[in-house]
Every structure is written in C-alpha cells, then in structure tokens.
C-alpha cells in the first residue's frame, strides 16, 4: 500500500458527516489534517477524535463562502505544516426545498456562495500552493444532483453541476503540472444533511431508499474511503473523473 504518512491535507466541512469521517481516515494513515468548518464545536470535536486516537490535526474556523476566510485557512495550513498535499473540497449546504419559481432568492444566493463560490475559492488558493510545490491531489464534493435534475433543490443541483465543471476544467489546466482533480457524486448518505432533507421522517427516508437500487443510504465511512483512495498516490492515473457513490441511483 502506498505510504501517505506525514502528508498534509485540508478537509472542509470537516466538523461532521463525510468531512469528519474523511479527516479521521486520513489521520489514521498518518496524514496531518487541517480540519476546516464553520462550526467551532463540530470542528474541535473532529480534532479531539483524531488526537485521542494518537494522530495529528488542528482546527481552523472558516466560512468557505468568504474569500478572506478561504485565504486564511490555506495560509494557516501552510504556516502550520509547511505545505498542502491533499485537499478535500467538501463543505456545502442543501438550502431550501422549493419549486424554482418560488425559491427564496436569499437562500439561493447563500447556496451559491457556499457550494459554488466556496469550491472555487478553495481550488484557486490551494492550487497556487500546489503549483509552487510541484503537485497535489484535490477531491471536490459534487452530488448525484450534479449529474441529473433534482426537482425541489434547483440551486443545490446547479452548484453541484458547477463543481463538476470546475473539476473537469482544472484537470485540463493542471494535469501536466502534477495536479489531480477529481470529484465524488454521493447519493443519499446517512448524514445530517439527509436528516434535514427528510425532516427526520422515517417514512420519508424509506421513500428515498425505495428508489435506490441498493435499497439503502450510503454511509459517511463508505464515501470517505473513496475520497481517501482518490487523494492518495494509488490513484495517480485518475484525473478529471466524477465518481457516483449512490447505490446505483444515477444508473437508472
């Protein structure tokens, strides 16, 4: 197995769900992790879990929709660990559930700021470090909503389509300079986001699961395992790819 010990990773949205699980799995492999989240409580809890297991991480609070906050988490990581080898560009929100013609404009703008602008800012400033250092690996979190239409969540779907566009474009621009950029497209996953989508309703959850060929939600651990693989050197030939991890949902 390829040794990634002592490499440095930034994980955004690391205070819960897929971001937390990915941070933990990276740390278990000896990666030093910059845990980024808006939630101080969630981010510090992720760091505590990593440190209690004997591994290394530190927390940076950031609103990824803020250009200055993104520049800060990139600069703080370099100041602390000296470099950035891996970047899991994961933070995002679901927004409201509403038909497009009725969608609240203020929530639309917030979803765009966090999911699309946040992904762009993260790539922009991390890429600058990776270019100076001669390479690196980025995984962006898109969604199955970035692959197909998703009635009721038009801004979310638009941003996740946009993340895929950023992923493929960055690959064309930077692959020759030793940088890999891939994306994951999770389907329904057992995280707080899906609980909010279904409003905690077991009936609604079962209705969602009934449309998934695998018959169940994915888990944060399953998604994180894919991310860790894509970030690592064993995936060196993989670039510009988008990986659905949705129990077969987008195969239908």
Q: Convert the pLDDT of each residue in 174-214 to its tens digit.
A: 999 999 999 999 999 988 888 887 888 999 899 899 999 99
Residue 185 falls inside a structural domain: yes
Query: What CATH number has the domain bearing residue 31?
Result: 3.40.50.720
In a domain, 249, yes or no: no
Q: Is residue 251 part of a domain?
A: no
Q: Is the residue at 189 inside a domain?
A: yes
Residue 1 covered by a domain = no
Query: What is the count of structural domains for the chain?
Result: 1
Task: Give residue 2's pLDDT.
Answer: 56
Residue 94 in any domain: the answer is: yes
* pLDDT tens column, 83-138: 999 999 999 999 999 999 999 999 999 999 999 999 999 999 999 999 999 999 99
Q: What contacts 219, CB < 8 A, 6 or more positions away?
A: 189, 190
pTM: 0.96
- Could you report the per-residue pLDDT of 7-45, keeping only the tens digit for each? 999 999 999 999 999 999 999 999 999 999 999 999 999
Q: What number is the average pLDDT over the span 151-160?
A: 97
Catalytic residue among 73, 81, 156, 174: 156
Q: Annotated catalytic, 156?
A: yes
Domain that holds residue 154: 8-243
121 found inside a domain: yes
Whether residue 248 lies inside any domain: the answer is: no
Confidence check: pLDDT of 61 > 80: yes
Residues near 91 by beta carbon (within 8 Å), at least 6 away in sequence: 12, 13, 19, 36, 37, 38, 64, 114, 118, 141
């Amino acid at each position: 197995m390829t040794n990634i010990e002592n490499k440095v990773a930034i994980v955004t949205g690391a205070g819960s769900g897929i971001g937390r699980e990915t941070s933990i799995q990276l740390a278990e492999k000896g990666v030093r992790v910059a845990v980024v989240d808006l939630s101080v409580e969630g981010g510090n809890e992720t760091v505590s879990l990593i440190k209690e297991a004997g591994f290394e991480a530190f927390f940076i609070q950031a609103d990824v929709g803020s250009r200055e906050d993104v520049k800060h988490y990139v600069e703080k990581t370099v100041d602390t660990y000296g470099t950035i080898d891996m970047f899991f560009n994961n933070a995002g929100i679901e927004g409201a559930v509403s038909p497009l013609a009725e969608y609240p404009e203020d929530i639309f703008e917030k979803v765009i700021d966090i999911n699309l602008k946040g992904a762009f800012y993260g790539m922009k400033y991390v890429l600058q470090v990776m270019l100076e250092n001669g390479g690196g690996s980025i995984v962006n979190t898109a969604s199955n909503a970035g692959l197909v239409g998703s009635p009721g969540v038009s801004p979310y779907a638009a941003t996740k389509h946009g993340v895929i566009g950023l992923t493929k474009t960055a690959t064309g621009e930077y692959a020759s300079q030793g940088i890999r950029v891939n994306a994951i497209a999770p389907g329904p996953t057992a995280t707080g986001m899906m609980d909010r989508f279904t409003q905690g309703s077991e009936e609604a959850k079962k209705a969602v699961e009934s449309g998934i060929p695998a018959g169940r939600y994915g888990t944060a651990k399953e998604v994180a395992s894919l991310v860790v693989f894509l970030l690592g050197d064993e995936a060196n030939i993989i670039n510009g790819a988008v990986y659905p991890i949705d129990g077969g949902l987008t195969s239908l």
